[in-house]
Amino acid sequence: MAKRIEASNVSSYYGNFKAIDGISMTVEPKTITALIGPSGCGKSTFLRSINRMHEVLPNARIEGRLTIDDQNIYDPDVDVTAVRRLIGMVFQRPNPFPTMSIYENVVAGLKLNGVKKKSVLDDAAEQSLKSANLWNEVKDRLNRPGAGLSGGQQQRLCIARTIAVEPQVVLMDEPCSALDPISTLAIEDLMFKLKDRFTIIIVTHNMQQAARVSDKTGFFSIDKTGDPGRLIEYDDTQKIFSNPSEKKTEDYITGRFG
Amino acid sequence: MGDYPSRSENATAGDLGVTESHTRAAGLGVSPSSYEEPPFGGGGALPKKKRFSMESGFRGLSVGAGAMVLVIIVAIAVFLISKAVPAISADKENFLTFKQWFPNETEPRFGILALAFGTVLTSVIALLVAVPIALGIALFLSHYAPKRLATPLGFVIDLLAAVPSVVFGLWGRDVFMEPVRNFSEWLNKYFSWIPIFGGDGPFGRSVLLGSLVLAIMVLPIVTSLSREVFLQTPGMNEEAALALGATKWEMIRTAVLPYGKPGVIASVMLGLGRALGETIALALTLGVVFNISFNVIENGGNSIAANIANAFGEANETGRGALIASGLVLFAITLVVNMAARAIIYRRREFRDSAA
């Protein structure tokens, strides 16, 4: 199921603006990796580079090499939609399709991939919603609009939608920043559960969250506004939060960041 | 009303409070200069609400504007009905089922059926031609064209909407008719086994010509409104579809089209409204024949509005009443179409509301 992601010397650009510079890291299968750092330091850009969502924006491009189990993600022959199916993504704000019901939202990805059989879709919807810890709350109203759920439920719905297509890797871009603490806890529980099946990379501003959920943590930073973001330190979460090697990491984690 | 007391009231009412707090303020070490203007919250007695204010003035104006719509509608309806009823009662034939139009004779005989049929037929064909093209253009402008191209192209389309309909009519009659006639003859030669392309001619001033001219007129309305709706699709929904592995077209089908559907329906209805009511362009391009035929390429066709334009000049008292009665029928058709459209839009209203 889960696959290894390897980045070597990845730089991403928006037009002429270099957003991240020379990121190298290896993410092992079935682990949770947290990316932390101040706003604008390129965490999200790096995350979006992994599933090629970066290039959706006009004039966006990357340099360097990104691989999933040694296959080059940016190989010109690779089908970009296949990459995104393999590497799913959960966004900062819950974004269920507003015109679709809960059920339709969950199976939207499968339908895009040509699955038509009702029984297969029904099974997948139930399994994904159960995996996303949402089944018990919505099983009686699958045909109600997905946008009618609470924020936390919507985000779990989006997670269900993402894992319904059986990706290898799940990217999460600040998935809890729009949620209250109880919903956040629900998502974190869910991440532990999903770790058995997927490789998870999560961008978060919440350092306690990074410390709670992740196996490894990468700290990104910029020297000043306009400079590209760099990966300052990447190590076991335990080590980053107790005994970081870099002064900058320590300053950030202890709240003394310039 | 009166929820927001004006500043001047506040100032007067606050005077007492200021002198009081002034003495205390010094002791507390707050600079007295901060009290030169009375604090917004004031003090002392609560200010009375004004009896007459801008608030009630604007309220009256907007209520009046709203009421005026009703008054105008009622006035028009009363006028139409009062003129139409005597003419219809003078009609020697059944107004709803008779196909000919001789209201000016001593024994007036006229009916709406052929005209209503022609109106609906030309409008429906115009929409069948225009809507797919318009949606294609709208999607191209909103999601495919580079911005440098989309902006001027959108401007040109909007310009098309500003061309007066008489210009379209003249162009249709003097320029567009030749190619349409050639096309009709070609259709007749190879496809005459399909009833709508049958007949022996002459061809040219046909339902096809009128409908195509109408289609060109409807095109910019549907295009520019649909483009606006497509552009409003939330970016995060488009990204959600792409992140699930959708191609661009799949993303449009999953996120853009469902989101824009009510807006597209509304734009099509506006286009249909223009097509149904179009007068002079059809008066200039249709063959003016009172019959019911699905043949679209032979000379013929007519519509309620075009007939009013053609016949009003020579109409006597009953004739004018008859034309007004036909106008009432047109009004009823438009009303039914609009209500049907609203029903479609409101059917999945729950989804729209919770999305907002």
In this structure, what DSSP letter does residue A222 have? -
| Angle, alpha carbons A148-A154-A160 (nearest 5°) | 125
Residue A119 sits at φ, ψ, to 5 deg, of: -65, -40
User: Nearest CA to B234 among A107, A99, A123, A221?
Assistant: A99
Q: Are residues B7 and B117 in the same domain?
A: no
Q: Are residues B120 and B38 in the same domain?
A: no
Residue scoring higher pLDDT (B177 or B44):
B177
Find the residue in A nearest to B252 (Cα).
Answer: A112
Q: Which domain holds residue B307?
A: 101-355
Q: How confident is the model at residue B351 (pLDDT cuts 50, 70, 90)?
A: low
Domain-embedded: residue B60: no
Per-residue DSSP letters for A99-121?
TSBHHHHHHHHHHHTT---HHHH
Domain-embedded: residue B56: no
Domain map (residue ranges) of chain A: 29-253
Number of separate domains in chain B = 2
Residue B141 has pLDDT above 90, yes or no: yes
Cβ neighbours of B234 in A, within 8 Å: 95, 98
Write the pLDDT tens digit of every residue in A18-71.
999 989 999 999 999 999 998 888 899 999 999 999 988 888 999 999 999 888
Amino acid at B274: R
How many CA within 13 A on the CB side of residue B62?
5
Domain-embedded: residue B64: no
B344 at interface of A, judged by CB pairs closer than 8 A: no
Residue B21 has pLDDT above 50, yes or no: no
Given B25, B51, B77, the domain boundary residue is B51
pLDDT of residue A157: 93
ipTM: 0.89
User: Nearest CA to B109 among B260, B349, B290?
Assistant: B290
Residue with tokens 């699955």, as numbered in its chain = A115
Write the pLDDT tens digit of every residue in B108-126.
888 899 999 999 999 999 9
Distance from C-alpha of B350 to C-alpha of A100, rounded to nearest angstrom: 11
3-state class of B95 per DSSP?
coil
Domain-embedded: residue B266: yes
A210: enclosing H helix or E strand: helix A207-213
> What mean pLDDT do residues A164-172 have?
91
Cβ-nearest to A145 among B245, B246, B350: B350
Across the interface, whether the CB atoms of B352 and A98 are under 8 A apart is answered yes
Distance from C-alpha of B192 to C-alpha of B199, rounded to nearest angstrom: 7
User: Nearest CA to B318 among B81, B88, B87, B101?
Assistant: B87
> What mean pLDDT do residues B237-241 have?
93
Cβ neighbours of B354 in A, within 8 Å: 98, 145, 147-148
Q: Are residues B9 and B124 in the same domain?
A: no
Q: Are residues B25 and B109 in the same domain?
A: no
Cβ-nearest to B255 among A85, A97, A162: A97
* Percent of chain B clearing pLDDT 70 (strictly above): 85
Q: Which of residues 253-292 of B touch A (CB under 8 A)?
A: 254-255, 258-259, 261
Find the residue in B nearest to A85 (Cα).
Answer: B245
Q: Judge contact between A81 and B243, C-beta under 8 A.
A: no
Domain-embedded: residue B96: no
Write the pLDDT tens digit of every residue in A135-159.
999 989 999 998 889 888 999 999 9
A30: left (phi over 0), alpha (psi -120 to 50) or beta: left
CATH 1.20.120.530 is held by the domain A29-253: no
Across the interface, whether the CB atoms of B244 and A112 are under 8 A apart is answered yes
Distance from C-alpha of B113 to C-alpha of B119, rounded to nearest angstrom: 10
Distance from C-alpha of A70 to C-alpha of A75, rounded to nearest angstrom: 11
3-state class of A167 per DSSP?
coil
Distance from C-alpha of B134 to C-alpha of B226, rounded to nearest angstrom: 8
3-state class of B343 per DSSP?
helix
Taking the CA of residue A110 and the nearest CA in chain B, the distance in Å comes to: 9
Q: How confident is the model at residue B33 (pLDDT cuts 50, 70, 90)?
A: low
Q: Are residues B138 and B276 in the same domain?
A: yes
Sign of CA dihedral A35, A38, A39, A45: negative
Q: Are residues B37 and B135 in the same domain?
A: no
Distance from C-alpha of A21 to C-alpha of A63, rounded to nearest angstrom: 9
Question: Which residues fall within 8 angstroms of residue B213, CB to CB, at 6 or more apart?
Answer: B168, B169, B171, B172, B176, B281, B282, B285
Domain-embedded: residue B152: yes
* CATH number, position B150: 1.10.3720.10
Domain-embedded: residue B284: yes
Write the pLDDT tens digit of every residue in A210-237.
999 999 999 999 888 778 899 999 999 9
Domain-embedded: residue B83: no
CB atoms within 10 A of CB A181: 9
Q: Are residues B317 and B186 in the same domain?
A: yes
Q: What is the mean pLDDT of chain A?
A: 90
Predicted model pTM: 0.79
Beta bridge partners of A170: A88, A200
Cβ-nearest to B351 among A98, A158, A161: A98
Q: Are residues B37 and B139 in the same domain?
A: no
Q: How confident is the model at residue B41 (pLDDT cuts 50, 70, 90)?
A: low
CB atoms within 10 A of CB B324: 21
